[in-house]
């Protein structure tokens, strides 16, 4: 028997076999080398975008009406942002694999419904503008982020229906950021549409993080540098802060020092337990909103220091890295921080989308037999 008896009898057959094997390898390598891209609609400062970037995507275009938020996005993602109302977008200058975004949600949120400005009808319809961009670009996948109530609202259900009519496989869920490594209990609704396979949501990750994990290394006395900014509260405010134990709230102030408790609270013996609350070191924060520098707006007192949390501490609790750049005034930046999707939560979603696109690309390349055509041309 020939020592080469286990090899193909024809040298040409051996080359073809080798090329077919390599074609699968090249297809996988190509899918890894190419960086999928995304467009961010209603981008804000870029919390959702940062999560997608960390998952391996590249931002190619964004739309944001707030000038400061648009400037923040541009500073961090290296390209211009269409700054203005989305209704003014007539064409999209780029193509992308994915569109992400969070249409304004005041009309759906519990706080929005409590607002005396109960005129959010126009904002409630901005999801239609989001879908208009989807129709123009026709991405492989789109991701919508919103308040949990939106997912089951008439508008949310209609949005999903339209997506299905356009050939997208749709899924929706409500995720708690705390289950994905964010040191904050923050529930957000997501809708994912895909033309390349059924979308899936990330499983809970065993990454429970606390306030201590996020801000425990920062000086308790603000340095007034790098957004670790101090405030100048009145002496009576500081005395009120002193009455609140870790995990406590305004009811502790009412019980301990009714003489310095605002009358509006004394006259309202029931209500939210978050107001004038103090964080706990070894527990997650509650939702960080846009006015975290005002203790009367939520559970925003530092776990030990008699002050509200600083901008830097809020950024950390939202999982923004310290090297993320911010543009605007202190109030504007606070609004950007509170409105953002925590990047770590966004990355959990983005990882699933990346895997979906990668699997679809490899399958398409393998089925197309692209390398075989090259061999035929060479022959």
Residue positions annotated with a catalytic role: 105
Sign of the four-CA dihedral 231, 234, 237, 239: positive
DSSP-derived secondary structure letter, 308 = B
Distance CA 64, CA 47 (A): 13
> What is the phi/psi pair of residue 274, to 5°?
-85, -30
Contact between 95 and 133 under an 8 Å Cβ cutoff? The reply is no
277 close to 249: Cβ distance less than 8 angstroms: yes
Is 355 in a helix, a strand, or coil? Answer: helix
- Residue position matching structure tokens 């080469």: 4
Phi, then psi, of 67 in degrees rounded to 5:
-65, -40
Q: What is the 3-state secondary structure (H, E, C) of 185-241?
A: CCEEEEEEEECCCCCCCCCCCCCCCCHHHHHCCCCCCCCCECCECCCCCCHHHHHHH
Alpha helices in the chain (DSSP H): 11-33, 47-54, 67-77, 110-114, 121-124, 126-137, 148-151, 154-165, 211-215, 235-242, 250-256, 263-266, 311-317, 330-339, 343-368, 370-378
**Alpha-carbon distance 275 to 95, whole Å?**
45
What is the rounded CA–CA span in Å between residue 239 and residue 86?
Answer: 47
Rounded to the nearest 10 degrees, how much is the dihedral formed by the CA atoms of 116, 122, 123, 124?
90
């Amino acid at each position: 028997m020939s020592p080469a008896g286990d090899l193909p009898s024809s040298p040409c057959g051996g080359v073809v076999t080798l090329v077919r094997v390599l074609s699968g390898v090249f297809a996988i390598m190509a899918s890894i080398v190419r960086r999928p891209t995304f467009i961010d609609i209603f981008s804000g400062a870029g919390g959702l975008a940062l999560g997608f970037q960390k998952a391996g995507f590249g931002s190619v275009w964004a739309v944001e009406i707030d000038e400061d938020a648009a400037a923040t996005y541009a500073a961090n993602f290296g390209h211009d942002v269409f700054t203005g109302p989305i209704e003014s977008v007539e064409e999209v200058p780029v193509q992308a694999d994915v569109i992400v975004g969070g249409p304004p949600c005041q009309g759906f949120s519990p706080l929005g419904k409590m607002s005396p400005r109960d005129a959010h009808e126009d904002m409630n319809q901005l999801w239609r503008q989001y879908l208009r961009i989807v129709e123009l670009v026709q991405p492989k996948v789109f991701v919508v982020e919103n308040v949990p109530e939106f997912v089951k609202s008439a508008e949310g259900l209609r949005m999903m229906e339209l997506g299905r009519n356009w050939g997208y496989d749709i899924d929706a869920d409500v995720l708690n950021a705390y289950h994905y490594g964010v040191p904050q209990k923050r529930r957000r609704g997501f809708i994912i549409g895909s033309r390349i396979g059924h979308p899936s949501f990330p499983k809970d990750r065993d990454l429970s993080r606390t306030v201590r994990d996020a801000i425990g290394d920062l000086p308790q006395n603000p340095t007034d540098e790098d957004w670790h900014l101090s405030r100048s509260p009145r002496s009576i405010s500081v005395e009120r802060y002193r009455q609140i134990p870790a995990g406590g709230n305004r009811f502790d102030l009412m019980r301990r020092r009714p003489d310095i408790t605002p009358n509006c609270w004394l006259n309202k013996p029931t209500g939210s337990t978050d107001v004038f609350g103090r964080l706990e070191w070894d527990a997650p924060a509650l939702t960080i909103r846009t006015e975290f520098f005002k203790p009367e707006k939520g559970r925003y007192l530092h776990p030990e220091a008699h002050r509200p949390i600083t901008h830097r501490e809020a950024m950390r609790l939202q999982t923004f890295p310290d090297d993320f750049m911010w543009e605007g005034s202190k109030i504007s930046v606070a609004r950007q921080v509170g409105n953002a999707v925590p990047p770590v939560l966004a990355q959990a979603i983005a990882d699933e989308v990346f895997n979906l696109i990668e699997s679809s690309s490899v399958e398409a390349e393998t089925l197309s037999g692209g390398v075989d055509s090259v061999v035929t041309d060479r022959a």
